[in-house]
Amino acid sequence: MADNDVLLSAAHWGLLDQVPTMVGATWSEVSVLTSLPPRTKKADPKLFKDPAVAAALAPYLARCAPLPDPEVSLIARLQGRQDIDVGEQVLFAAAGNAPEAFVVTGDKRAIRALAAVHAQGLIPELTGRVMCLEQLLWHALSTLGPNELLRRVREYPDRDMATLAILGRTGSKSQAQIEEGLTSYLKDLNQTSPELMARGHGCDGLGRLGAASP
C-alpha cells in the first residue's frame, strides 16, 4: 500500500517501477487511496507539475489491487490523531486487513505520530510494516546507480525538501555520499520508531543502523 505523496514523488522522478519492487512485489499487488486515480485522470494541477507526469502514473494505477476495507478497531485507535491525516489513517487501518502488506508513506509526521501510538502498545499489528520515502530512494539508488537517480530526481528537485537536501540541484554525488545522506534521515526514524519501520526490504540503511537504543 502506498500513500499519495510517495506515488506522486515516484511519478515526478520516474521511479514508479521501483515502488513495488522494493518489497519484491508487482503493481498488481499495490493498493492506493481511491482519491488518487480520478485526480490523476484529470491531471489535477495541485498534484502534478506537468500533465505528462499524470499520464505516466495513470496506467500504473489502473493495474492496482483494490484497497482492503479498513480494519474497524484499528481505525478507531487512530481516529482523533490530528498528526495523522485521514488518508494515512485509512491506509494504516487497511493494512490491518492485509497482514502481509507494507505501508509506504512519505509523511514523516504521520510516521512519528504512529510511532507514539505504537509505543503505547495500541497498534502491534503494524510492527515492522511501515516504510518511508528514503527507503524507496535507497532501493532506486541500488537499482539505477547514483548518476541516473540524480538525473531523474533533479527533473523536479523541489518535490521533497529532505530529498533536495540529500541530492542537491547540481553537481555529482557518489553512491556512498547519497547513502550517507539517506542514512542521516533514517537515523531519526530509527530512534523514534525502531519497531515500527520495516527492515530488510528495499533499503539496507535501517538494517545497518540496527535497533535504536532505549
Q: Do residues 183 and 87 both lie within one domain?
A: no
Q: Do residues 13 and 115 both lie within one domain?
A: yes
Of 132, 162, 181, the position where a domain reaches its end is 132
Of 87, 116, 132, the position where a domain reaches its end is 132
Does residue 166 belong to any structural domain of this protein? yes
Q: Do residues 75 and 172 both lie within one domain?
A: no
Give me the pLDDT at residue 205, please.
58
- For the chain, the domain total comes to 2
Of 76, 105, 132, the position where a domain reaches its end is 132
Give me the pLDDT at residue 174, please.
96
Residue 170 has pLDDT above 50, yes or no: yes
Does residue 113 belong to any structural domain of this protein? yes
Q: Do residues 38 and 128 both lie within one domain?
A: yes
Residue 108 CB: number of other CB atoms within 10 A?
17
Tens of pLDDT, residue by residue over 27-39, are 999 999 999 999 9
Q: Do residues 146 and 111 both lie within one domain?
A: no
- CB pairs under 8 A, 24+ apart, for 66-70? 66/31, 67/1, 67/31, 67/32, 67/33, 67/34, 67/91, 67/94, 68/31, 68/94, 68/95, 68/97, 68/98, 68/101, 69/94, 69/97, 70/94, 70/96, 70/97
Confidence of residue 212 (pLDDT cuts 50, 70, 90): very low
Does residue 89 belong to any structural domain of this protein? yes
Q: Do residues 8 and 61 both lie within one domain?
A: yes
Please give the distance of CA 163 from its chain centroid, rounded to a whole number: 13
Owning domain of residue 93: 4-132
Q: Do residues 108 and 169 both lie within one domain?
A: no
Does residue 214 belong to any structural domain of this protein? no
Give me the pLDDT at residue 207, please.
56
Does residue 139 belong to any structural domain of this protein? yes
Top mean pLDDT of 40-54, 122-136, 199-213 is at 40-54
Tens of pLDDT, residue by residue over 37-96, are 999 999 999 999 999 999 999 999 999 999 999 999 998 889 878 899 999 999 999 999
- Cβ distance 94 to 72 under 8 Å? no
Q: Do residues 25 and 110 both lie within one domain?
A: yes
Q: Do residues 14 and 108 both lie within one domain?
A: yes
Q: How many CA atoms lie within 13 A of 90 on its CB side?
A: 14
Confidence of residue 211 (pLDDT cuts 50, 70, 90): very low
Q: Do residues 55 and 126 both lie within one domain?
A: yes
pTM recorded for the entire structure: 0.91
